[in-house]
Structure 1
Amino acid sequence: MIKLPINYHEPLPAAFYPASAPLPFSRADFGADFHWGAAAAAYQTEGAWQHQGKGPSIWDDFTRRKGTIRRNEHGRVAADFYNRYETDLDLARGLGLTDFRFSAAWSRVLPEGLGAVNRRGLDYYDRLVDACLERDLRPWLTLYHWDLPSALQARGGWTNRSIVGWFSDYAQIMARRLGDRVQHWAVLNEPMVFVGAGHLLGVHAPGRRHLGAFLAAAHHATLAQAEGGRALRALLPDSAQIGTTFSCSHLTPHRPGNRNDEAATRRADALLNRFFVEPTLGLGYPVAELPALRWLLERYLKPGDDQRMKFSFDFWGVQNYTREVVKFSPWLPLQWATLVPAKQRGVPHTDMGWEVFPESIYHMLKQFAAYPNAPRLLVTESGSAFPDVVQDGRVPDPARRAYLQAAIGQVLRAQQEGIDVGGYFAWSLTDNFEWAEGYGPRFGLIHVDYETQERIVKDSGRWYQQFLGGTAVASEPERAAAERV
């Protein structure tokens, strides 16, 4: 871990700064219709895990198992957003945000995943949407952010093809209730993460480690992604902007020019960056780079699926935090590749072990925009986790502030090259439960004391506020560091 300066005004390592987007820049450079927001997710923030008829989710179950989460933590209270959403939305509006992205907990609306609707749960999201609009925050609703109802997992979850219909029914319920006020919808959040980490690596819920489970879940998520979009569009044909979000990382070979590492990088790119994008465009799965996917086609692809996987989204959410360096590995037969950790490479990295490399955002926007018929792009998650210390009622977090500044600069770089980028959402509005990492890593613009639930806007959040208000400039040390790159 790099040593972070204690003094807020000390210059940071040059790696925090963009090489090709000179600072300062202003909000006006992005255009008047650009969306400025922050994001959150139900299980990570809401708490109220058994409140008012909510059913359990796979993350409720997963966190009960010893050894799955650092320090055996869980999201039963989390940031208590369920009870504090009005206060948190006041803070969001105070930061100058124009948009707020959040997810609904499927099991809060449908405790069994299907069947009877929990009206009190649906009423909560009704109130949340109204609270956003009362504060002039455009609500962006993500239908699925990883917290599958336990009752559906008992039926096979994402490995059961029936989930495509279950998810479509859930999408219709949400659209009928909230579609008159929610104009921006994201169908899935990062499907490669919840199927890969949850069904192949076993480090996320439901904790499975099986190639067949991964391939089945991946194909059904691909179908659900498109069917969910169709369900929304059928009910909201004129008013809604419908998208979905993809995790992604800019990939480079460990040894440039080495044939094995170059090929491994192409295979990793097919799995991590292309797998869920290309079927929506009618390109199918990247089988040429990943021959193991032929098993998926033979076992799970049914007649008509090629067409069912297609859907013309209005936008794609690009969710990027870092780049990855790839080298050939004979021990991982799906992609014959492994990722070289940032710590091993001796480069600056965050509390998540991710390399500090804001330029990755630019590269991924450029990669996605290169697809023929690509829709508008938005950065729907971008952030960094660094240690926080409360000092005299403040949270000085120069590394996070610098990362935020650099990331926004990379978005502007892409936009100035003609890429249609429509928004930037910082991850996350508040500190929250960070999945298998528990409450250790902090991404928030707003610090949360998990014992008292006290909120403090961090210095990075205040910089974002100043930027959106048109008063932020790079400090002289930061300007000097940027010029040295």
Structure 2
Amino acid sequence: MTFTHSRGDFPNGFIFGAATSAYQIEGHRFGGAGPTHWDTFAQTPGNVIRAENGATACDHYHRYNEDLDLLKAGNFDAYRFSTSWARVMPDGRTPNPDGLDFYDRLVDGMLERGLQPWATLYHWELPAALADQGGWRNRDIANWFGEFTRTIMGRIGDRVHAAAPINEPWCVGWLSHFLGHHAPGLRDIRATARAMHHVLLAHGTAIQAMRSLGMTNLGAVCNFEWAAPADDSAEARAAADLYDGYYNRFFLGGLFHRAYPENVLEGLGPHLPEGWQDDFDTIATPVDWLGINYYTRKLIAPDEGPWPAHREIGGPLPKTLMEWEIYPDGLHGFLTRTHSEYTRGLPIYITENGMASADRVAGGEVADPDRIAYLEAHFSAALRALSEGVPLKGYFVWSLLDNYEWALGYEKRFGLIHVDWDSLQRTPKASYHALQSAFAR
């Protein structure tokens, strides 16, 4: 199975890449990395399937050359990777030479192969020592994160093509502190409000730190879910608008409008830290681009109970192995909406898009036609947005490798490359080969 679309359908200079994150692939037990709140979260019964963690993962720490070779052979232009705070600073404050050396080698390996390094500083693995001090609930984390930023980018910032501070603020804030599905596993509205604000404050602090190092091409990476009302009632529309508010508009509003949505402040406002309104000068520090991570939509219905008083209901569309509806129109909607309402001419990148499927090796090959169809449909949505004037500049597929899928352990495979969890053997899937052909110059 091949793609209908190819590199030639996109503008000259359009960047095609693949993305990963440190804790999900590197092997956290290697190279002197310190404990993270994900390690302790996984050790708590019931939090993670089979209590699995990222101790070994894909052992990218030792096998990164093989993985970079696969990127180059796949005709990708760029690699979006993340750095582990607990690898660079095991206690959150003290540099680890082995960790810094690893990212030196990784970035040099990309450049040797002609790959653009796209760095994300933080993808969820907070050092346990900082979690002990309140983590994202503590306003001091913005300064701690600034110190980390200066440490890691003081080493590799001269060679990365682009950088963003924090991957998916909604997951760091709401998913982890209100729903409790990710570390630190809290279900506390006050903790949520503070984490959501502090993650944006840390973002702005890191942007300023990187600017002070002379870095350019700095962005923000947010995840988005299209919120649709479950029916035509006014109540369902209000519920979907609130979901859209705390999932999507809270972070865009802070970054680009210096304000949070009023319907979100009804619930979170009483719990935000004192003086939060004074932080927007830092939060809204100008960026050079916006990254959009998009996978699915949600149907939202009103519900009984305290704020936010709504619930998700199952939709009728085909679903991935994550039970996420496949809705490419949502990607088109976010591209056009963010361009017209927030970024207004700023370059936009799709920094994550992909799907999980139940992939198996058979006869040395991995057939994943559903992933090819998924990506094809989302390429079409991206091309439609481009035709309507959206300054879309690149597209990163999630993920290069099957990996540790957080609370879902190793069951959900998002990779273009299959990883055998016993031998760690890499087997490129049919989707990898199809993209290899589509991206050929």
TM range (shorter): over 0.9
8 Å contact kept, 2:110–2:116: yes
Judged with a 3 Å threshold, the aligned counterparts in structure 2 of structure 1 residues 124 and 361 are, in CA distance, closer, same or farther, namely same
State the 1:302 CA deviation. Answer: 4.2
The residue correspondences of 1:261-280 to structure 2 (distance < 5 A) are 261-280=236-255
The answer to whether 1:307 aligns with 2:281 is yes
The answer to whether 1:250 aligns with 2:226 is yes
The two structures have a TM-score, normalised by structure 2, of: 0.97
Percent of pairs identical after alignment? Answer: 39
The residue correspondences of 1:71-90 to structure 2 (distance < 5 A) are 71-90=50-69
SS across alignment from 2:395: strand
8 Å contact kept, 1:282–1:309: no
Equivalence for 2:310: 337
Residue range with higher mean Cα deviation, 366-375 or 258-267? 366-375
State the 1:305 CA deviation. Answer: 1.5
State the 1:260 CA deviation. Answer: 0.3
8 Å contact kept, 1:266–1:289: no
User: Residues of 1 paired with 2:435 and 2:328: CA distance?
Assistant: 16
User: Residues of 1 paired with 2:32 and 2:49: CA distance?
Assistant: 28
Q: For 1:106, which of 81, 85, 99 is the aligned residue?
A: 85
User: Residues of 1 paired with 2:206 and 2:158: CA distance?
Assistant: 18
State the 1:174 CA deviation. Answer: 1.6
How big is each residue's C-alpha offset from its partner over 1:67-114, in whole Å with a ceiling of 9 and x where there is no partner? 111122211111111110000010111100000001001011111101
User: Residues of 1 paired with 2:36 and 2:77: CA distance?
Assistant: 31
Equivalence for 1:241: 217
Equivalence for 1:403: 374
Equivalence for 1:44: 24
Judged with a 3 Å threshold, the aligned counterparts in structure 2 of structure 1 residues 209 and 293 are, in CA distance, closer, same or farther, namely closer
8 Å contact kept, 2:189–2:271: no
Residue range with higher mean Cα deviation, 185-194 or 307-316? 307-316
The answer to whether 1:173 aligns with 2:148 is no
Equivalence for 1:29: 9
How big is each residue's C-alpha offset from its partner over 1:135-157, in whole Å with a ceiling of 9 and x where there is no partner? 11100010000000000001110
User: Residues of 2 paired with 1:422 and 1:392: CA distance?
Assistant: 38
SS across alignment from 1:43: helix
User: Residues of 1 paired with 2:45 and 2:121: CA distance?
Assistant: 29
User: Residues of 2 paired with 1:45 and 1:363: CA distance?
Assistant: 31
User: Residues of 1 paired with 2:276 and 2:369: CA distance?
Assistant: 52
State the 1:331 CA deviation. Answer: 2.4
State the 1:294 CA deviation. Answer: 2.2
The residue correspondences of 1:83-482 to structure 2 (distance < 5 A) are 83-114=62-93, 116-237=94-215, 240-256=216-232, 258-288=233-263, 290-297=265-272, 299-302=273-276, 304-333=278-307, 335-341=308-314, 345-374=315-344, 375-469=346-440
State the aligned residue count.
440
User: Residues of 1 paired with 2:11 and 2:317: CA distance?
Assistant: 35
Equivalence for 2:48: 69
Which letter maps to 2:55? R
User: Residues of 2 paired with 1:32 and 1:373: CA distance?
Assistant: 22
User: Residues of 1 paired with 2:161 and 2:426: CA distance?
Assistant: 29
Which letter maps to 2:10? F
8 Å contact kept, 1:175–1:236: no
8 Å contact kept, 1:57–1:148: yes
User: Residues of 2 paired with 1:395 and 1:316: CA distance?
Assistant: 33
Which letter maps to 2:283? M
How big is each residue's C-alpha offset from its partner over 1:272-291, in whole Å with a ceiling of 9 and x where there is no partner? 11111111123311124541
Equivalence for 1:16: none
User: Residues of 2 paired with 1:293 and 1:195: CA distance?
Assistant: 12
8 Å contact kept, 2:5–2:376: no
The two structures have a TM-score, normalised by structure 1, of: 0.88
Q: Which structure has the greater CA radius of gyration?
A: 1
8 Å contact kept, 1:241–1:315: yes
How big is each residue's C-alpha offset from its partner over 1:12-58, in whole Å with a ceiling of 9 and x where there is no partner? xxxxxxxxxxx8333122112111000000010001x2323211111
SS across alignment from 1:431: coil
Q: Which runs of 4+ in 1 moved over 6 A?
A: none
User: Residues of 2 paired with 1:145 and 1:372: CA distance?
Assistant: 24
User: Residues of 2 paired with 1:127 and 1:355: CA distance?
Assistant: 39
How big is each residue's C-alpha offset from its partner over 1:187-211, in whole Å with a ceiling of 9 and x where there is no partner? 1100111211211111111111111
* Higher RCO (CA-CA < 8 Å; seq separation 6+): 1
User: Residues of 2 paired with 1:84 and 1:289: CA distance?
Assistant: 44
8 Å contact kept, 2:42–2:51: yes
8 Å contact kept, 1:103–1:145: yes
Which letter maps to 2:112? E
8 Å contact kept, 2:120–2:166: yes
SS across alignment from 1:327: strand
